[in-house]
Structure 1
């Protein structure tokens, strides 16, 4: 039997644009952000008010970023979020916002500034831990959290509903990436190697187009949720070596199995790191 998740009532054809925060303007974040105007346009055609987007990143463009991220040599030394927001606003005639700082635990302390949807594209466990803490505290009213992550030749995206003041703790609530795979937000087990300062090594550590596959696939899932009001999967894993994409179905029974397995893996990783 196919189980579907129904779009949250607060996001169904509101007269106000859907407020969205993208955290990270690197490989995945820039790919997501540059494709969001197409979702904005589609939403308006489908009777929604479109999107109101903020892009957050405190990093500056480096020479290495110009290899596989959408930055030019003239952007080097400028803030990533500001560069991309200016580019999108000029091209599409939008008024989206840049937040040229790293996301921290107090970034959303003002309830009135909280977005309805957060898309995180970060590359450390510590950063995901911070995001999970902010989105799940009692004062948070964020409806959805879409997380994207990848390594050299594979990656994943997971849409969840953080357990907070907005989302009730019921069996059908979409589990977030850190609930299903807690090791992804456990800095105590160590971090993966950070991006290299060498262009050649950067390409060795991460193949081209991984970010674009994840970004377009994740946004295609969101588009179906907004257009049809329901989805039967809330994430997927992609492997560039095999060309296969395995979806994560909306299935509470499967979530329990994944969480049991992930907890065992996390305990093993903690013992190795100790």
Structure 2
């Protein structure tokens, strides 16, 4: 009788240089709108907790060339006093004052023409909170290029993408290179997590917004995205990142969320 092979769950194990870094881990956050603003607040809380626990913490740059307008109030984290300001600068100034950080707001779009400076474009973790499929594919191209051509301290390793339509969405973690995994008797370590743009082309097309025309009012904005979808995705996605830093091992590389029936489906490492 043949002996059955022992089942080993697939996992992704985080390298020590992220768990016990000498310097803050660099994070590029692309997009400072409904989801991006919520993610930034979660990153600030995470940074405070990590440094309190003896970790070097995070250094975050936020990229967005958009300015605050009246339709952003209520659904996004802006006040009337910030109307006309760049979203990235308004959010970063508030976070820096509240948490005592020295994070940076970049008033440019994260795209090929604007990012000729590889030091600025590259970060250990890139987080995208953008509205269009086109933007995601361009981010993917930039990150793949940097993974091959840029060898600095902030060499790109992970890409965490947030995407949603009116009342559902997903958060998916990808790797830009093979992450060396230790041998394990209990688990089956996986060194690469597939890129969102390679694995979910159909999903990206389905969640793309019909147009890029800005909303003229809060009511119009809410017809495109529900009031709490951004914060729900941001908190769950931040929990995945928190698990990366605190546990050092991931059984799930993302999730799908539907607020209509309050259902969350994890995306397993495979």
Whether 1:133 aligns to 2:141 is yes
Q: Quote the Cα distance in structure 1 between the aligned partners of 2:55 and 2:113.
A: 31
Map of 2:17 onto structure 1: 10
Whether 1:156 aligns to 2:170 is yes
The offset of 1:5, in angstroms, is 0.7
What SS class does the counterpart of residue 48 from structure 2 fall into?
helix
Select 2:198's aligned residue among 170, 175, 179: 179
Map of 1:200 onto structure 2: 219
Select 1:22's aligned residue among 19, 29, 34: 29
Q: Quote the Cα distance in structure 1 between the aligned partners of 2:264 and 2:116.
A: 37
The offset of 1:67, in angstroms, is 2.5
The offset of 1:192, in angstroms, is 2.5
The offset of 1:111, in angstroms, is 4.0
> Does the CA contact (< 8 Å) of 1:8 and 1:143 recur in 2?
no
Q: Quote the Cα distance in structure 2 between the aligned partners of 1:204 and 1:226.
A: 36
CA RMSD of aligned residues (A): 2.2
User: Normalized per residue, which structure has more helix?
Assistant: 1
Map of 1:117 onto structure 2: 125
- CA deviation string 1:100-135 (max 9, x = no partner): 111111555444442110000000111111100000
Q: Quote the Cα distance in structure 1 between the aligned partners of 2:84 and 2:159.
A: 30
Runs of 5+ in structure 1 lacking a partner? 252-274
Q: How many residues of Structure 1 are paired with residues of Structure 2 in the alignment?
A: 247
Q: Which stretch shifts more, 93-102 or 132-141?
A: 132-141
Map of 1:255 onto structure 2: none
Select 1:100's aligned residue among 103, 107, 111: 107
Structure 2 length-normalised TM? 0.85
> Does the CA contact (< 8 Å) of 1:124 and 1:192 recur in 2?
no
> Does the CA contact (< 8 Å) of 2:86 and 2:107 recur in 1?
yes
What SS class does the counterpart of residue 98 from structure 2 fall into?
helix
Runs of 5+ in structure 2 lacking a partner? 1-7, 181-188
Q: Quote the Cα distance in structure 1 between the aligned partners of 2:95 and 2:28.
A: 15
The offset of 1:90, in angstroms, is 0.6
Whether 1:242 aligns to 2:231 is no
Whether 1:40 aligns to 2:47 is yes
> Does the CA contact (< 8 Å) of 2:179 and 2:191 recur in 1?
no
> Does the CA contact (< 8 Å) of 1:61 and 1:77 recur in 2?
yes
Q: Quote the Cα distance in structure 2 between the aligned partners of 1:191 and 1:183.
A: 14
Q: With CA pairs under 8 Å and 6+ residues apart, which has the higher RCO, 1 or 2?
A: 2
Displaced runs of 4+ in structure 1, greater than 3 A? Answer: 106-113, 183-187
Structure 1 length-normalised TM? 0.84
